[in-house]
Amino acid sequence: MRDGFTGSRTLVLPQMVLAMAKNEQLCKQLYVTDMGYYPHAHYHRRERLVPIEQYVFIYCVDGCGYFWVELDDGVRHEYKVAANQYFILPSGCRHCYWADKSDPWTIYWIHFAGEHASAYAGEESCPLTVRPENDSRISDRHRLFEEIYDTLMRGFSKKNLIYSSVVLQHYLVSLMFVESYRGAVAHTEGTEVVGAAMHFMRENIDKRLKLAELANYTGLSVSHFSSVFRHSTGHAPLEYFNMIKIQEACRLLDYSSMRINQICHKVGIDDSYYFSRLFSKVVGMSPTEYRSREEENKNEDTTGV
């Protein structure tokens, strides 16, 4: 099953476009063939007994799943994949991957190919972990994924193919060299309790965090953490978390072509009606009204140039 999950997105590059990428100097080393995002992907399963030429990258951000792959040794290697883990299946190998029945995964996925694809895939086929920490920059990496997706959604021009190829290199390298990626941005939040909690919220904006999880991350009791956070920000922790979610939703409404039901899943809210009510409470208008107003403003700016 490729699609059909609420809030899911899928992008498949046509064969004519792939032929163009293979012959373009700045694309042929590494390029996307398919990509997508599946939130809470119940009953998701894909088995390929006839190998494909592409490498398959899957990044699990919530829930869990499983996969098996038959490598050159002819043995079927099977693994469980948890939240904050990713894996890359090599090309030319039989494989299968599927979501857990009771706790289905939410995944970002990319099929990629190219002359240097094997170098970017690495040698490990087992799940690798990206631990959320103060300097993990997980949300920055998710934005890179969105940048690739949005660029290709705007069309398959030569410049879009080149740009998406370069960003894909950055995206995969950020996982290959995690410490370098984390160290590339200076620390601005330090290790203070509120800064750490805000960081944890941003890194898990697509999840439904509980107050106890936030407190546990900072090492404080729930009551002490709530008191410290409210004193510093003027808001209860979960109220502030919802404000961050709506802030991200506004960014996606402004700069992406995602539908509203897709955006609510991207910020960790399954109920679109609740999302709309929360958005209206924070912003003062519905998501539909917000997007319409922004589009009107853009049109006015264009005609005034």
- 3 within domain boundaries: no
For residues 24-35, average pLDDT: 95
Is the whole model's pTM more than 0.85, yes or no?
no
Give me the pLDDT at residue 191, please. Answer: 44
- 4 within domain boundaries: no
The lowest-confidence range among 24-38, 70-84, 182-196 is 182-196
The domain total for the chain is 2
Angle at 121 between CA 117 and CA 126, to 5 degrees: 155
Residues 200 and 241 in one domain: yes
Looking at 155, 183, 211, the residue that finishes a domain is: 183
Of 80, 120, 73, the C-alpha closest to 100 is 80
Is the pLDDT confidence value at 104 over 50?
yes
**Mean pLDDT, rounded, of the chain:** 87
The lowest-confidence range among 1-10, 64-73, 88-97, 249-258 is 1-10
Is the pLDDT confidence value at 50 over 60?
yes
In which domain, by residue range, is 244 found?
193-301
Give me the pLDDT at residue 181, please. Answer: 64
Residues 47 and 166 in one domain: yes
- 105 within domain boundaries: yes
Q: Show Cβ contacts of residue 174 under 8 Å, excluding neighbours closer than 6 positions.
A: 137, 141, 144, 181
Give me the pLDDT at residue 4, please. Answer: 56
- 38 within domain boundaries: yes
Residues 117 and 263 in one domain: no
Looking at 151, 183, 215, the residue that finishes a domain is: 183
Contact in structure between 221 and 215 (CB atoms under 8 Å)? yes
Looking at 183, 207, 236, the residue that finishes a domain is: 183
Residues 134 and 25 in one domain: yes
As a whole-number percent, the residues of the chain with pLDDT over 70 amount to 89
Residues 239 and 153 in one domain: no
Residues 129 and 207 in one domain: no
Instruction: Tell me the pLDDT band of 301, cut-offs 50, 70 and 90.
Output: very low
Instruction: Tell me the pLDDT band of 219, cut-offs 50, 70 and 90.
Output: confident
What CATH number is associated with residue 287? Answer: 1.10.10.60
